Amino acid sequence: MLRTVFPTVTPTVTPIVTLIVTLAWASAWLSSPLLPAVFAASPIVATQQAATSKAATSKIAAPQAASAIVVAPEIMDLGAIEPGSTHPAKFTLINTGAREVTVLGAVPNCKCTAISDIKGKRIPPGGTLELSASLAAPRAPGVKEAVVFLTFEGAAPTKATIKGDVRLKVVAEPPYVDALKDVTSGSVKLRAADGKPFSVLRSGGRDPVFVGFDPKTDAPRAEYVIAWDLSGRACEAMPIWWFVFTDRPDCPAIPLRVRDECTGSKADMGRFGRFWIAKEGLIDAGLGLIGTASEVEIDLDHYNPAKKGAIERVDWSAVKAVRSLSPIADAAFISKRDVGADVVVVKLAITPKQPGPIEGELEIETATGTGRVPFTIFARAR
């Protein structure tokens, strides 16, 4: 046991001397390496340390327990899929627990995914339940992933994932125009997936600018590098898409998403007031005939992030009209169908007036406001 010996001060020593000696002793004692051990042995300090440690530990969230329901496969990878195609998939929910489990809900995070109704279904111990799902591929290239969130009575929640790589017959590398951080120009490689030669007809609304290729003297190739340039564009005039047109009937248009600060959250500020967005942001009508209407569909999603999706205007999906803002194509509203309370599928017609590549914008008007959606169509003579 540590014993502390205090210095003895005799009555004959003056108070000033006593003070000096005492301070010297205190300084030496406080600097002793044994001091931490003395305080550590103190029940008050030990109690405080334990309380602090317990409080810190209580702030660390316990890891979520693994669910007794195992999803097989956990991720359904469809591989390469074509734009606009729909792909079915099946998952098996396996109850590995010792008690019965009831499905409380199965909710996809994307309207592009349709699922079978399994709410209320019961899975006995060791039993299985099939979940059917399908992924509707968007028109734009790139990896598309959808998640189905599963909740249960008697088991922790889990999820099933389905994804696919949307690929055109002509592959763009990268599949976008990267104009972030004040970048105003660059290039994209175009490659025929089947290795067959093709021609690039238009790029960004004008004749294509090739790198290392002269269309006047060189024969068509299966691979090109084309340049893009967005310099001098005001923020409000920055396009959402850079369209490339080819002579391939199976790939007439290649949409390249423009990645720029002005095409993200700053774009389409009217969405907050009209309460809807065209989530895919693109209408690709494919090949068409001059003077003949091509029917296409587009999903409008309810949008109200400020109120966590609450529907404040029930007439947000009441479509009044569809107009073409391009002088070389007409557009008309045909019909709509509601998918739940937060999605409406709008059917419309686009009629080209002249042959060749056409790109422009459609204006969709509902009871709550108007919004614009880019469109493409490659028109041919009859």
- Which position has the token pair 């399994």? 118
Confidence of residue 31 (pLDDT cuts 50, 70, 90): very low
Whether residue 360 is predicted with pLDDT greater than 50 in this model: the reply is yes
Give one DSSP letter per residue of 258-301, joined into a string: EE-GGGTTTS-TTHHHHTEE-TT--EEEEEEETT--EEEEEEEE
CA distances, 321 to each of 76, 152, 158, 270, 365 (Å): 39, 43, 42, 17, 5
Enumerate residues 6+ apart whose C-beta is below 8 A from 106. 115, 117, 118, 119, 131, 148, 149, 150, 151
Reported as type and span, the H/E element at residue 362 is: strand 356-366
Residue 268 one-letter amino acid: D
Domains and CATH numbers, the chain: 69-166 (2.60.40.10), 168-267 (2.60.40), 268-382 (2.60.40.10)
Q: What does DSSP assign to residue 41?
A: T
Mean pLDDT of 217-236: 96
Find where tokens 């929910």 sit. 93
Name which of 336, 255, 246, 343 is nearest 297 in CA terms: 336
Higher-confidence residue of 273 and 63: namely 273
DSSP 175-243: SEEE--TT--EEEEEEEETT---B-EEEETTB--EESS--TTTSPPBSEEEEEEE-TT--GGG--SEEE
pLDDT band at 143 (very low <50, low <70, confident <90, very high): confident
Q: What are phi and psi of 306, to 5 degrees?
A: -65, -30
- Reported as type and span, the H/E element at residue 58 is helix 43-58
* Helix, strand, coil percentages in the chain from 3-state DSSP, rounded to 5: 15, 45, 40
Arithmetic mean of pLDDT, 126-130: 97
Q: What is the DSSP letter of 141?
A: -
Encode pLDDT of 176-198 as tens digits: 999 999 999 999 999 999 999 99
Encode pLDDT of 45-90 as tens digits. 344 444 444 444 444 444 456 899 999 999 999 999 988 899 999 9
CA distance 192 to 48: 70
Confidence of residue 39 (pLDDT cuts 50, 70, 90): very low
Q: Are 207 and 231 in contact (CB under 8 A)?
A: no
Q: For residues 351 and 294, give the distance between their C-alpha atoms in angstroms, rounded to a whole number.
A: 6
pTM of the model: 0.73
CB atoms within 10 A of CB 351: 19
pLDDT at 64: 58
What's the CA gap between 352 and 143, in Å, rounded?
31
Q: What is the pLDDT of residues 85-122, one digit of tens each?
A: 999 999 999 999 999 999 999 988 877 788 999 999 99
Radius of gyration in angstroms for the set of CA atoms belonging to the chain, rounded to a whole number: 34
| Amino acid in position 14 | T
For the sheet with 158-166, list strands across it: 75-81, 158-166, 142-153, 101-108, 122-123
How many Cβ atoms sit within 10 Å of the Cβ of residue 291?
13
